[in-house]
A and B are shown apart, each in its own frame.
Chain A
């Protein structure tokens, strides 16, 4: 038992990724052999990953940064995994939120997918989560590119798996645009490798300081390509065109994980590259932070504006994601202690909120089949639990105190003042009002609106299974808990920010 414990402790960085990959390979075998085991095994993989995350968190909090060398090859040659506070923050977010989405999916998939593909869904889902975890902990450029490709392909898979016309079109659009994004990233990896000779983040960062004097143009082009690639993948405003279709037409659990986690992981990877790899002098050569700030505020503004005019509830939530990813980039662009804390904290907070909102939209579609916002009048009386948690999510989106959305917005606001850019405080305030305009009418109409007399309002409401209501309740409780007691998450985030 102790040897097993030692093995797990020493190797949890590799095992956490390998668990997801191995279980996802096993799913197609189980599909033809023991079909009803697939969901259980997928959940088991997540529980194992949570266990490894717990061990890693304990190691990082007691002994500091954990590194792991693949195949015992030391860093300049081999692939290195580095787990610091920031990675622990991302790992916790990914494993917890994706476990809750998966529990919801076990019931919802039978309703949305054909029976013969439902176990393939778990393959793609586990591959996606494994790739995101790999992206969170890798310290190697090429490894990062490989994980980005795995994540892109499996994300396309979980959109297109529904096999109707809209889904296939949306996932094709996503495939093309994300291929452009990863292509940009690969090209800029090649550029950096050309001037530094290293693929490891730490070694490349060291070599970039003298290289900046010799080859400034190469490094500037690399920075531009990285920015373009990651902004496409993270769907910031001018390059967001793939997101609304992809996130609204996909099955609800897919929308929840894509909006809640997948776009965030690219913002996180971009932040890591900007702060850890590129030398500080480059930011005096090109105003990259100001550009990020402008793009982020455009994203916040136009995302909300587009969301107001949507009629489909999932499409509205998808546009709201564009606005919310703007907050994360706003935190990156402010580049001071409070701003980064707010931006990074918003990754976790928005993962909780948006996953919950998409899942509750999925629950409404599961029970009634309604997608149109106008038809949701009076639905609160029929489905009090779902609309109740939706109301919590809506309040958190607006940033009302006692919800976690307030905490991250507060830190972002403090960050704008610290940076001496009060204009962006105005952006945050205006965006909160815009959020009120499109979220609150839904909640108010659902609880207080009188349903019309048309026959379509008498749709029979299916009962919500326990597997679908429990994740919703846990996520809503999480939103309130981290709104009232934000200290635990803030300690982690502040330590993560302190290393920059």
Chain B
């Protein structure tokens, strides 16, 4: 579909949607929403891009390989953050005792590892949403 209006509008709005997604993810420990809802917003921005342009353009921005890497990276990031607690000598997934700075409650830098975990999980959810979309669109043609 070659429609200049849709392309221009989505070209303008995609960065804002992405910023909003990151906002929801990073404020996961302060406001409603978090890694899942933020990740879904982030993923849907890429879906919008791929729909407005075409799948080839979408693939150029974010290939299957990259989204697989982000997906596994997000999950592994969670595990590695958990292992920090063990390294600090307390327990798996220990937060304050694991040495994460707690900050002032209510501010952005607070809650220790929670913000870091939601960041990893948000990226994972985003790439999962994108992968699901690609797989549904492509169907059997991919393999």
Interface residues of A (CB under 8 A from B): 7, 11, 14-15, 18, 21-22, 25-29, 31-32, 68-72, 114, 116
Contacts and interface: CB of A to CB of B under 8 A. Distances in A.
A122 B115 CA distance: 31
Interface stretch (B13-21, B23-31, B86-94, B102-110): B86-94
A28 B71 contact: yes
Contacts of B69: 29
Given A18-B83, A25-B76, A29-B68, 7 more contacts: A7-B89, A11-B91, A14-B91, A18-B79, A21-B79, A22-B76, A32-B68
Contacts of A21: 75, 79
Contact of A116 (B68, B82, B92, B143): B143
B91 A68 contact: yes
23 contacts: A14-B86, A14-B91, A15-B86, A15-B92, A18-B92, A22-B79, A25-B75, A25-B76, A26-B72, A28-B71, A28-B72, A29-B68, A29-B69, A29-B72, A31-B68, A32-B65, A68-B91, A70-B91, A70-B93, A71-B91, A72-B85, A72-B97, A114-B143
B95 interface: yes
Contacts of B89: 7
Nearest to A116: B143
A72 B76 contact: no
Interface in B60-84: 65, 68-69, 71-73, 75-76, 79, 82-83
A32 B69 CA distance: 9
A471 B121 CA distance: 38
Contacts of A22: 76, 79
B92 A11 contact: yes
Contacts of A25: 72, 75-76, 79
B86 A71 contact: no
A69 B85 CA distance: 12
Contact of B95 (A28, A68, A71): A71
Contacts of A71: 85, 91-95
A231 B114 CA distance: 38
Contact of B90 (A28, A32, A72, A114): A72
A7 B86 contact: yes
Interface in B84-136: 85-87, 89-95, 97
Contact of A26 (B76, B82, B91, B97): B76
Interface residues of B, number: 23
A22, A27, A114, A116, most chain B CB atoms within 10 A: A22
B68 to A, nearest CB: 5
Contacts of B72: 25-29
Nearest to B64: A32
Contacts of A15: 86, 92
Contacts of B73: 29
Contact of B86 (A11, A27, A31): A11
A22 B93 CA distance: 14
Nearest to B90: A72
A22 B81 CA distance: 12
Contacts of B71: 28
B79 A72 contact: no
B33 to A, nearest CB: 21
Nearest to B77: A25
B9 to A, nearest CB: 35
What are the 4 closest A-B residue pairs judged by CB atoms, nearest first? Answer: A14-B92, A71-B93, A72-B91, A25-B75
Contact of A69 (B68, B75, B91): B91
A378 to B, nearest CB: 39
B68, B90, B93, most chain A CB atoms within 10 A: B93
Nearest to A69: B91
A25 B82 CA distance: 15
A408 B16 CA distance: 65
Contacts of A28: 68, 71-72
Contacts of A69: 91
Given A18-B79, A22-B79, A72 B68 contact: no
A84 B48 CA distance: 52
Nearest to B143: A116
B89 to A, nearest CB: 8
Contacts of B82: 14, 18
B135 to A, nearest CB: 13
Contacts of A11: 86, 91-92
A70 B97 CA distance: 12
B24 to A, nearest CB: 24
A149 to B, nearest CB: 15
Nearest to B87: A7
A68 B92 CA distance: 9
Contacts of B91: 11, 14, 68-72
A7 B92 CA distance: 11
Contacts of B76: 22, 25-26
B90 to A, nearest CB: 5
A26 B74 CA distance: 11
A72 B65 contact: no
B92 A70 contact: yes
A21 B76 CA distance: 8
A326 B9 CA distance: 63
B138 to A, nearest CB: 14
A295 to B, nearest CB: 39
Contacts of A14: 82, 86, 91-93
Nearest to B86: A11
B95 to A, nearest CB: 6
A69 B76 CA distance: 21
A96 to B, nearest CB: 24
A358 B87 CA distance: 42
A27 B93 CA distance: 23
A114 B142 CA distance: 14
